[in-house]
Structure 1
């Protein structure tokens, strides 16, 4: 079976493919998933902190948002 690749692999895809050469234990696989999850959670938190700072938001803004009723 021939597979046609329409675009090159991204850098993350290429790096993850290297892992496929190893048969990881379930524990190692779980740890890698946790590391990836923590990494992306950290990036999301940093992005939100930047938005928060850029817009001079306060804790009261967050409280106000939680009390808004936006359904029609």
Structure 2
């Protein structure tokens, strides 16, 4: 029952490790987390908007959709 090796780090993980190796304050860590959250939120909104436009959805359709 050996342990499985950890998967290799992603390019983002490697960049974050370099950043944190320089020494980052707790305040800066919080700021970085917020920046990453905003970035991924924007990507999700862009993806949803693209699907919305491709499917031709309207606000009226959304509002009239049964719960």
Q: TM-score, normalised by structure 1?
A: 0.76
Aligned residue pairs total 64
How many angstroms apart in 2 are the aligned matches of 1:40 and 1:58? 24
Kindly report structure 1 stretches of 4+ aligned residues shifted beyond 2 Å. 4-8
Task: Point out which structure has higher relative CO (alpha carbons under 8 A, 6+ apart).
Answer: 1
- Find out whether 1:35 has 2:39 as its counterpart: no
Q: Which has the higher helix share?
A: 2
Q: TM-score, normalised by structure 2?
A: 0.80
Q: Which residue in 1 is equivalent to 2:18?
A: 18
How many angstroms apart in 2 are the aligned matches of 1:26 and 1:8? 27
How many angstroms apart in 2 are the aligned matches of 1:45 and 1:34? 16
Aligned CA-pair RMSD:
1.7
How many angstroms apart in 2 are the aligned matches of 1:23 and 1:17? 10
Q: Which residue in 2 is equivalent to 1:50?
A: 50
What SS does structure 1 have at the residue aligned with 2:21? coil
Structure 2's unaligned 5+ residue stretches are none
Residues 38/8 of structure 1: CA separation in 2 closer, same or farther (3 Å cut): same
